[in-house]
Structure 1
Amino acid sequence: MSGIINSVADFASSTGFAQITVPMVIMWIVSFVLMFLAIVKKYEPLLLLPIAIGALAVNIPSVAFYDGGWSIEGMFSPTGGLYYYISQGIHLELFPPIIFLGVGAMTDFGPLIANPRTLILGGGAQFGVFMTMFAAVALGGFTLGEAASIGIIGGADGPTSIFTANKLAKHLIGPIAVAAYTYMALVPLIQPPIMRAMTNDAERKIRMKALRQVSKAERIVFAVMVMIVCVLVVPDASALIIMLMMGNIFKEAGVVERLVKTSSNELMNIVTIFLGTSVGLTMSADIFLKPQTLMIIAMGVVAFGFSTFGGLLLAKIMNKCSPKNPVNPLIGSAGVSAVPMAARVSQVEGAKYDPQNFLLMHAMGPNVSGVIGTAVCAGYMISRLS
């Protein structure tokens, strides 16, 4: 009888069950919450779901099959672990720029070109990036590099947040990515109260002049010039800017439909799976369950709030300076680069006060300029702090 008991005990000790810890179980719960948000609430499901699965996998003892046995080390082993090689897409800075290629192939810069003033609104929304960075330093416990990486969350741009964190705070990639993508999904909940508090009925009903048609040549020249200028000014953001504009030039050229389709669909979908899973695999219990993580999650809300506030405030200032050609301040909140969700929020909020007021295309101007602005901010921070 004792022999049977010893055999069962030996078998149990050879499985992963004997290695389960309380922190791992807590991370399972975190993973299940992320799955709930992705599947039930449909909050950024394309990335939150792979992140959730990766986070669950890395917190299951003995998760990877390697060299004839199961071991977590095998997953990351330089001699054969599957996710070791996949995760190199983050460490070697491949995935975020490729995501930007797809974003560029789906982005219309026409509204921004037709109304260049909205470029300023995208810059105004970067207020949240720097305010959060300063707040993180003031609170203590964060280096300048870590604070800068956290601040980029305010730009509402997940790939840029990951790109910056990989340069300045590799150990914080997991919580920063989760905060960035979760709050991007919560833009329709976070922004409207701030938008209402910052504007009055008359401002919300402002109708903007119809946008002019923008030619193909203008669109291509714009993309090329932005690429040249941004790379010269902030070389550290060159990978993001070049890929963003390459995707857009593919789209606007009208002669490489297959490349546009691949960039915006197949390639982007594949990279999204690998990027999300790789981020999730950085969320091991010993790294994620720290007071720093809770602070990052909290400061993510602050970052979004300040970014929304900055865009709205700048729109109101613009109207004071140019009362004969006002902008609807509601489009200022679209300066956060959650494309196109933030622009849709501007449209929905404006339609509540004037159902015939169509703000979506106007809001796309600051929305896409926010993408550029956040990448430029990231490049500047990397150049100064790395």
Structure 2
Amino acid sequence: MKQIEELFYQTGFFALEWRMIVMWLVAAVLLYLAVFKKFEPLLLVPIAFGALLANLPTQNMVNPPAGPILSPVNGTVVISTVELGQKITMPAVAHEMPNLVGKLKEKTEAQALLLDQFAKAETDGQTLLFVIRPEREQAFAVLPEYAEIEVVINEVPVAIRSTDHLVWANASGSIAELKATEGDTVVQGAQLTQVHSAHTGGFFHYISLGIILELFPPLIFLGVGALTDFGPLIANPRTLLLGAAAQFGVFATYAGAMAMGIFNSSQAAAIGIIGGADGPTSIFLANSLAPELLAPIAVAAYSYMALVPVIQPPIMRALTTKNERKIRMKSLRKVSRLEKLIFALVVVIFCILLVPAASPLIGLLLLGNFLRECGVTERLSKAAQNELINVITIFLGTSVGITMTGDRFLRTETLAILALGIVAFGIATSSGVLMAKLMNLFSKNKINPLIGSAGVSAVPMAARVSQVEGQKADSGNFLLMHAMGPNVAGVIGTALVAGYFMTVMGGAH
């Protein structure tokens, strides 16, 4: 009987908890939308499956390798609970732990957690290694009411402040080197200790480096550039204004997130970019400015991209009259190959000079487009359009999904991000349509306002929605190529806005 009991504890059933099961339901909803509703299945299926894996007690999947533990801040080591040779064993399901004492909303909660961790200092369950007091403490106004709590360690009372940083282990192993003890002054990035283990990190730890190192989003843009024809934008350059107008959704959502009072400026900027309807750009910016919000931002961006055919049409119909929806636009002129090549070079030079922080996205987007249009790199263009973008999409989606653990995702902030995301899409769609109507007041060559909704970056889905809505009003009206102009302008515009936020918020590097 004892052997059966020990065997049970070694299975994953013992590690199950309610948050995991809730996230299974979330993954099931995403799979339903992808498989049965066919909403962005190429993205939602990998994300949903990654979310399912993230909420199972997996082994050798997401765990990072043992290695150096670095100081997160300049300050003084207030408490050290480690000794040379001491073993560290991570729990079967590792939860995201607070990096500041003040992140624990209640004083009693903070005391209970700290005392529990200190009690484990002599066991294999310990994961809290250091408490570091920063040199310049953050204002207490942004932290809970308590400024200081007292805990008793080995019968000695120790005062811990809300602004103290908590340093946790992230991998099992043993302490092989100890470079900081209580009372030592450390600088940010300095090695505190070294954890050694013979085991390497899990598969998805290394795959996810494609997001952390900002590799996947630019590579996706390379494929998008190779798939996209910039001819409609060149033939009708005024549609660039429609792509620019859609960016109002980004800035309005940024302002809304700031007004809620639960997000800082960097987090608000990362949330605001959802309004651009560009998944890779959302991931790129979130990873730079607010990596702790990467999962909900990515899921919101891709989910709402998938729901463009549901979200946009009611807004488009509400803001236009039937006669406006029937407007037929003049056929676009044929754009020469030379024009397309010059356009790619001019845009990449101008945009990077304007917003250097957007270089990875803009540079790879226009490289992919140049490969498409130059006529002498057909193999490379097809590789970017097919094999490369398909492989990266699988890895990008599952890497996003694998961050959707229950303790990260099931938070008030997640619901706020989802709500702000739908508002962002609505404002971006409305702004594009209203800009087209405004332009018609000063132009004899009328624009069908429906193509203004394509100013968001969901290529080519938003353009198809414009086409579908146009044909509902006039079955002989063909708006697809006209809508591609603001659609590709939206891609460039959102990348530039992301670069602007990175520059202003200090996330560019």
Q: TM-score range by the shorter chain?
A: over 0.9
Equivalent residues of 1:311, 1:332 under 8 A apart: yes
The equivalent of 2:405 in structure 1 is 284
Alignment correspondent of 1:231: 352
TM-score (norm 2): 0.72
1: distance between equivalents of 2:207 and 2:24? 22
1:252 equivalent to 2:373? Answer yes
Counterpart of 2:251 (choices 115, 126, 130) is 130
Task: State whether residues 64 and 71 of structure 1, in contact with CA within 8 Å, keep that contact through their aligned partners in structure 2.
Answer: no
Alignment of 1:2-41 (within 5 A): 4=1, 6-41=2-37
2:189 matched residue in structure 1: none
Q: Which runs of 5+ in 2 are unaligned?
A: 66-89, 95-169, 172-198
Deviation (angstroms), 1:64 = 2.7
Aligned pair 1:140/2:136, yes or no? no
For 1:1-386, list aligned pairs within 5 A. 4=1, 6-64=2-60, 79-322=200-443, 324-386=444-506
Q: Is the 8 A contact 1:338 1:367 kept in 2?
A: yes
Structure 1 letter corresponding to 2:259: A
Judging changes above 3 Å, is the alpha-carbon distance between structure 1 residues 138 and 218 closer, same or farther for their aligned structure 2 residues?
Answer: same
Instruction: Tell me the equivalent position of 2:138.
Output: none
Q: Does the C-alpha gap of structure 1 residues 70 and 299 become closer, same or farther in structure 2, counting only changes over 3 Å?
A: closer
Secondary structure of the corresponding residue to residue 26 of structure 1? helix
One-letter amino acid matched to 2:237? P
Offset at residue 209 of structure 1 (A): 1.1
Please say if residues 157 and 338 of structure 1, whose CA atoms lie closer than 8 Å, have aligned partners that are also in contact: yes
Choose 98-107 or 142-151, whichever is displaced more. 142-151
- How far does the alpha carbon of each residue in 1:84-135 deviate from its partner, in whole angstroms, 9 at most, with x for none? 1100000000000000000000000000000000000000011100001100
Contact 1:63 1:70 survives alignment (8 Å): no
Determine the C-alpha separation between the residues in 2 that align with 1:150 and 1:353. 35
How far apart are the structure 1 equivalents of 2:389 and 2:55? Answer: 27
Quote the offset at 1:28 in angstroms: 1.1
Deviations 1:237-258 (A, max 9, x none): 1000000000000000111111
| Segment drifting more, 46-55 vs 115-124 | 46-55
Q: Is the Cα–Cα contact under 8 Å of residues 195 and 312 in structure 1 kept in the other structure?
A: yes
- The Cα shift of 1:70 comes to 11
Question: Structure 1 stretch 33-42 or stretch 304-313: which is displaced more?
Answer: 33-42
Instruction: Verify the 8 A CA contact 2:328 2:477 in the aligned structure 1.
Output: yes
Question: Between Structure 1 and Structure 2, whose CA radius of gyration is higher?
Answer: 2
Q: Give unpaired runs (5+ residues) of structure 1.
A: none
RMSD (Å) for aligned C-alpha atoms: 1.6
CA deviations over 1:245-284 (Å, ceiling 9, x no partner):
0000000011111101110100111111110010011111
Q: Which amino acid aligns with 1:281?
A: I
The one-letter code matched in structure 2 to 1:42 is K
**1:63 Cα offset (Å):** 3.6
1:64–1:72 Cα contact (<8 Å) kept = no
Secondary structure of residue in 1 paired with 2:58: coil
Aligned-partner Cα distance in 2 for 1:359–1:40 = 28
Task: Determine if contact 1:58/1:72 at 8 Å carries over to the other structure.
Answer: no
Deviation at 1:80, TM superposition (A): 3.1
TM-superposed CA distance for 1:344, in Å, is 0.7
Shift of 1:71: 5.7
Q: Which has the higher contact order (CA 8 A, sep 6+)?
A: 1
Deviation at 1:293? 0.3
Quote the sequence identity (%): 62
C-alpha separation in 1, matches of 2:19 and 2:356: 41
Deviates further, 24-33 or 104-113? 24-33
